[in-house]
Amino acid sequence: MKHIKTINKANLKATAAKGGCGKCQASCQSACKTSCTVANQKCEKEA
């Protein structure tokens, strides 16, 4: 496209159907401890 560059897979909806296994880290246990950010967590679901 000339005007718009899409830079990622935009696959959030697909993750809803297969997600929710709960194996990932609790987000506040990492380095924040007084706030919450989830975007920096990684998925730990086994393939």
Cα Rg, the chain, nearest whole Å = 15
Contact (CB, 8 A) for 20 and 39: no
Q: Least distance (Å) from another protein to the CB of residue 14?
A: 9
Examine residue 47 and tell whether it contacts another protein (CB under 8 A): no
The site that binds another protein (CB under 8 A) totals a number of residues, namely: 43
Q: Least distance (Å) from another protein to the CB of residue 12?
A: 3
Cα three-residue angle 11-7-31, rounded to 5 degrees: 70
Residues contributing to the site for another protein (CB under 8 A): 1-13, 15-16, 18-45
